[in-house]
Structure 1
Amino acid sequence: MTKKLEAYFKNEDDAETVHAELNRFNVSNVSVEEIPEGDERFLVPIFPINNSGSSGGGGLVAGLGEFGEPTQTDQRRHLLSFEIEEKDFQEALNIVKKSEGYIAKDS
């Protein structure tokens, strides 16, 4: 089964770099596009979570935490959208996080 992920980046190069890194997985319906001015979305960074008490180990989650709302200089104007196998989803989130990508708050 696949999961859809939409990640937002400061520039097209960052989005394309993540796209290239994701090619080692079975990804589909991949697109990179610029978000038009005036299209405001509430985006949040991705944080690691510690599930050391469970057998599942750690993972990643989107949330505000100490970062608060993104500032004007923090805007993400490029969207990378793709579908990925559920088993590879957490690793895809790691790649997005490493490249300072954000996801939508409701993801």
Structure 2
Amino acid sequence: MEHHIQAYFRNESDAETALAKLQKCPIRDARIDSIPDGNTNPFVLPALNFTSSSSPNAGVITDGDAINTKGSSERFDYILEFYVEEQNRREAVNILGQTEAHLDKEAYEKINK
């Protein structure tokens, strides 16, 4: 099964850094786009690093620490989108967790299942 992942970033440099790190993971159709000024940022959570037991590493930001950009000055102006196969999904998410990536709440919940 293939997953479509969208990661949000505050600036293009952070998105490009994440994409460069993702090159060691088999992903396809990766692209970085700017988010138009008029668009509202989604409810996003920081990407997490996961252990092989599939629970977040100690000290990571959890749901209670989530960033809700609605009504906040926090802005995400770039999005990195790519496809990854199920067997490589956890590696890709671990890589994103080492960057400034944020995932929308729906993607975050899917990853945590």
* TM bracket, shorter-chain basis: 0.7 to 0.9
Deviation at 1:84, TM superposition (A): 1.0
Count of paired positions: 100
- Do the aligned residues in 2 keep the contact of 1:48 with 1:58 (CA within 8 Å)? no
Large movers: runs of 4+ above 2 Å: 46-50, 66-71
Match of 1:100? 100
Provide, for residues 26-58 of structure 1, a one-character-per-residue CA deviation record: whole Å limited to 9, x for no partner.
2111110000112112222234567xxxxx613
Which residue identity lines up with residue 54 of structure 2 in the other structure? G
Mapping for residues 1-107 of structure 1, pairs under 5 Å? 1-40=1-40, 41-47=42-48, 57-60=53-56, 64-70=63-69, 71-72=72-73, 74-107=74-107
* Structure 1 portions without partners, runs of 5+: 51-55
**Structure 1 residues 5 and 59: CA distance shift in structure 2, 3 A:** farther
Mapped contact 1:9–1:76 kept (Cα < 8 A): yes
TM-score (norm. length: structure 2): 0.74
> d(CA) in 2 for partners of 1:9 and 1:59?
24
Identical positions, percent: 28
Distance verdict in 2 for CA 1:6–1:63, change over 3 Å = farther
Q: Decide which moves more: 17-26 or 63-72.
A: 63-72
Moved more, 38-47 or 78-87: 38-47
Measured after TM superposition, the shift of residue 64 of structure 1 is: 2.7
